[in-house]
Amino acid sequence: MGQIALITGGGGGIGGAVAHRLAEAGMTVAVADYDRAAADQVRDEILAARGKADAYSVDVTQAREVKAVVTEIHSRHGRIDVLANVAGGSIYTKRVEEFTWAEWKQVIDSNLKGTFLMCREVAPVMQKQKSGRILNTASNYGVTGSALRAPYAAAKAGIITFSKSLALELAPDGILVNTVAPGPTDTPRVMEKESPDARQERWYPVIPLGRTGQPGDLGEMYYFLTTPESAAITGQTFHVNGGLVMP
């Protein structure tokens, strides 16, 4: 039986790249996204490339929706081998005194709460299987902090430590938990806000490899963490940022 991979935020950007890469590896991919049309598009692209995929709509901040989508995927396939939590984002850019509590909570919920809810539902499935890979998503800002993105940095730092804690809890069940921390990455959402020339001027001089990341760079990292070659790795954070941050 082929592996089943659930990717949140799979409708585009990094999540879409992860979905495509895992499908290329022969996995059946459950593309889950708040934007159902985006999830459908990635599913259709995978099917057109002769891969296997389904699309699902889910708001990862809502426990009922998370439980429903995990139950549906498990009922359909009988297992979940990979969970990649990519959903999230910084949403706002402003000084801390300008944040309302509702805005702060929105950022925490879409990143940290969503990751927790997905892990809480998928972990028992993997525990029964005595196997599984959980891949959570942080950011270089979860290590360095970020002026004007305080709740986002706080949420991503929380994901790093949550992932370490979960790795310790689930190791006896043969489940590996790791975190991928992207640096500046040229996703469609980012490129809508900043031109290629502006990004090059801003980032290229300070990134040792001299370029920003591409979604495919991240897709390869997530894929590696699903392979037999990574079978002895758990509780780790992998920075994919061209050398911008070396913790």
In the predicted structure, residue 1 carries a pLDDT above the cut 80: no
The per-residue pLDDT of the chain, averaged, comes to 96
Mind listing the pLDDT tens digit for each residue in 20-79?
999 999 999 999 999 999 999 999 999 999 999 999 999 999 999 999 999 999 999 999
Mind listing the pLDDT tens digit for each residue in 219-233?
999 999 999 999 999
Considering the segment(s) 4-240 as one domain, its CATH architecture is: 3-Layer(aba) Sandwich (3.40)
Q: Which of 152, 204, 222, 223 is catalytic?
A: 152
- Where residue 15 falls among pLDDT bands split at 50, 70, 90? very high
Mind listing the pLDDT tens digit for each residue in 116-137?
999 999 999 999 999 999 999 9
What residue segments make up the domains of the chain, in order of their start?
4-240
**Residue 222: active-site member:** no
- Where residue 193 falls among pLDDT bands split at 50, 70, 90? confident
Taking phi over 0 as left and psi of -120 to 50 as alpha, with beta for the rest, 59 belongs to: beta
- Residue 191 is predicted with a pLDDT of 86
From edge to edge, which strands make up the β-sheet containing 28-33? 52-57, 28-33, 4-8, 82-85, 132-137, 175-182, 237-240
